[in-house]
Amino acid sequence: MEIRRRDRFLSEELELLNARYEECGGDSAFAYSKLSKFEVNFIDEEINRCFDFRYYAENYHAINSKREGIKTLYPFFDSQEIFYTKICELQRLGQPIQVIVLKARQLGLSTINEALIFHRTIFTEGCNTLIVAQDPGQADYLFNMTRLAYDCLPWWMRPEARYEQNARYLGFDRRDEHMRITRPGLRSAVFVEAANKMTGVAVGKGLTALHMSELSLWPDAKVLAEQIFPTLSKTPNQIAVMESTARGRNNFWHELWKDAQDGKIPWIPVFIEFFRLKQYSTVIPVGMTFERTKEEIALAEKVKENSNFTLTDEQLYWRRTEMQTFATLNRGDESKFYQEYPGASSYEAFQGSGVCAFNKKKLQLILESTCCPPKYYGEIDLKKDKSDRWYPEVRIKEAKKGENIPAAEGYGARLLVWEAPKEGERYYIAGDVAHGVYGGDYSCAQVIRIGHGVHPDEQVAEWHGWINPTPYGDVLCALGYWYNSAEIAIECNDVGQATNARVMRVLEYPNLFRWKHYDKIKNFITDFMGWYTNVKTRDLIIAKFREYIDDGMVVIRSEKLIDECFDFSSVDDSRFEGQSTHDDRVFAMMIAIFCSHDSEGWGTDQAAPAINKQDLEIFCLCGHTKDRHGDRHNKTANCQDCGCPIWRQRGDFANTDFSPIFDRNSRPTHHPNEDPPPSDYLLWDEMGSEQVEKWKTL
Amino acid at 692: V
Q: Does residue 635 sit in the same domain as residue 562?
A: no
Flag whether 605 is in a domain. Answer: no
Question: What rounded mean pLDDT belongs to the chain?
Answer: 83
pLDDT at 692: 44
pLDDT at 152: 94
What tens digit of pLDDT does each residue of 17-61 get? 999 999 999 888 899 999 999 999 999 999 999 999 999 999 999
> Can you tell me the distance from the alpha carbon of 274 to that of 522, in angstroms, rounded to the nearest whole number?
55
Average of per-residue pLDDT across 223-249: 91
pLDDT of 429 > 90? The answer is: yes
- Which secondary-structure segment (H or E) carries 39? helix 37-49
Helix (H, G, I), strand (E, B) or coil at 261: helix
394-428, pLDDT tens digit by residue?
A: 999 999 887 878 877 668 899 999 999 999 999 99
Co-location of 697 and 563 in the same domain: no
Interior angle at CA 619, CA 613 and CA 623, nearest 5: 155
Region 3-28: mean pLDDT is 91
| Confidence band, pLDDT 50/70/90 cuts, at residue 520 | low
Q: Note whether 592 and 619 are same-domain residues.
A: no
| Residues whose CB is less than 8 angstroms from the CB of residue 485 and which lie 6 or more positions away in sequence, other chains included | 510, 511, 613, 632
Distance CA 570, CA 11 (A): 62
Asked whether residue 601 is domain-assigned, the answer is no
The one-letter amino acid at 600: E
Residue percentage of the chain with pLDDT more than 90: 58
Residue 638's pLDDT is 53
pLDDT on residue 450: 95
Which residue, of 596, 627, 652, is where some domain finishes?
596
Looking at the fold, whether 267 and 391 belong to one and the same domain comes out as no
Count the Cβ atoms, other than its own, within 10 Å of residue 206.
14
154/228 same-domain check: yes
CA dist., res. 170 & res. 162, Å (int): 8
Residues 555 and 451: their CA atoms lie apart, in Å, by 10
Is 541 among the domain residues? yes
Q: Look at residue 435 in the predicted model and tell me its pLDDT.
A: 85
**What local confidence, expressed as pLDDT, does residue 251 receive?**
86
- pLDDT 10s digits, 118-143: 999 999 999 999 999 999 999 999 99
Last residue within a domain, chosen from 210, 238, 272:
272
* 361 within a domain of the structure (yes/no): no
Give the residues across from 239 on adjacent strands: 97, 209
Does pLDDT of 648 surpass 60?
Answer: no
Which residues, at least 6 apart from 5, have a Cβ–Cβ distance to it below 8 Å?
A: 11, 58, 59, 60, 72, 74
Looking at residues 150-166, what average pLDDT do you find? 86
Tell me which residue of 279, 242, 274 sits closest to 259, measured CA to CA: 242
Check pLDDT > 60 for residue 634. Answer: no
From first CA to last CA, the distance across the chain in angstroms is: 109
For the ranges 46-60, 485-499, 505-519, the lowest mean pLDDT is seen at 505-519
Residues 462 and 523 in one domain: yes
pLDDT of residue 180: 66
**pLDDT at residue 563 is higher than 70:** yes
| Range of the structural domain that residue 579 is part of | 376-596
pLDDT for the residue 179: 73
pLDDT band at 103 (very low <50, low <70, confident <90, very high): very high
CA distance 655 to 487: 9
Same domain, 414 and 552: yes
Question: Looking at residue 580, what is its pLDDT?
Answer: 57
Residues 564 and 681 reside in one and the same domain: no
The CATH number of residue 386's host domain is 3.30.420.240
Task: Specify whether 201 is located in the same domain as 347.
Answer: no
| Cα 110-111-115 angle, rounded to 5 deg | 115
Instruction: Give the domain-ending residue among 596, 625, 652.
Output: 596
CB of 86 within 8 A of CB of 17? Answer: no
CA 679/CA 657 separation, integer angstroms: 10
Mean pLDDT: which of 229-233, 387-391, 472-476 is highest? 472-476
Residue 680 covered by a domain:
yes
**Beta strands 457-465 and 525-529: pairing type?**
unpaired
Q: What is the pLDDT of residue 248?
A: 84
DSSP of 227-255, one letter per residue? IIGGGB--STT-EEEEEE----SSSHHHH
Q: How far is residue 85's CA from residue 242's CA, in Å, rounded to a whole number? A: 16
H helix or E strand, kind and range, residue 592:
helix 584-596
pLDDT higher than 50, residue 647: no
CA 331, 335, 336: angle at the middle one, nearest 5? 85
Same-domain check for residues 263 and 334: no
pLDDT at 523 over 70: no
Looking at the fold, whether 433 and 320 belong to one and the same domain comes out as no
pLDDT over 70 (residue 596): yes
Verify that 537 and 511 share a domain, yes or no.
Answer: yes
The answer to the question of residue 493 being in a domain is yes
- Please indicate, yes or no, if residue 511 is contained in any of the structural domains: yes
Distance of alpha carbon 238 from alpha carbon 91, whole angstroms: 10
Q: How far is CA 677 from CA 575, 618, 683, 687, in A?
A: 41, 16, 12, 17
pLDDT tens digits along 448-459: 999 988 899 999
What amino acid is encoded at 319 in this protein?
R
Of 436, 409, 434, the C-alpha closest to 491 is 434
The 10s digit of each residue's pLDDT in 321-333 is 999 999 999 888 8
- pLDDT of 642 > 80? The answer is no
Q: What is the CATH number of the domain that holds 221?
A: 3.40.50.300
Decide if pLDDT at 598 tops 70. yes
Contacts of 205 (CB under 8 A, 6+ apart): 128, 130, 191, 231
DSSP label at residue 506: I
Q: How many Cα atoms sit within 13 Å of 354 on the Cβ side?
A: 22
What is the 8-class DSSP label of residue 502? I
Q: In terms of Cα–Cα distance, which of 472, 338, 491, 344 is closest to 414?
A: 472
Q: In sequence order, what are the residues at sequence separation of 6 or more whose Cβ sits closer than 8 angstroms to the Cβ of residue 371?
A: 345, 556, 557, 558, 559, 562
Asked if 684 and 658 count as a contact pair (C-beta separation under 8 A), the reply is no
Mean predicted confidence (pLDDT) in 207-229? 91
Nearest 10 degrees: CA dihedral of 490, 496, 499, 503?
Answer: 30
Residues pairing with 129 in the sheet? 190, 209
* DSSP secondary structure code for residue 439 in this structure: T
Q: How many domains does the chain contain in total? A: 4
Please spell the DSSP secondary structure of 102-122, one letter per residue. Answer: EE-TTSSHHHHHHHHHHHHHH
How many Cβ atoms sit within 10 Å of the Cβ of residue 61? Answer: 27
Q: Is residue 42 part of a domain?
A: yes
Total number of residues shown for the chain: 698
> CA-CA distance, 327 to 314, in Å (whole number)?
20
Is 90 exceeded by the pLDDT of residue 363? yes
Helix, strand, or coil (residue 98): strand
Q: What is the greatest pairwise CA distance in the chain?
A: 122
Torsion of CA 622, 628, 631, 632, to 10 degrees: 70
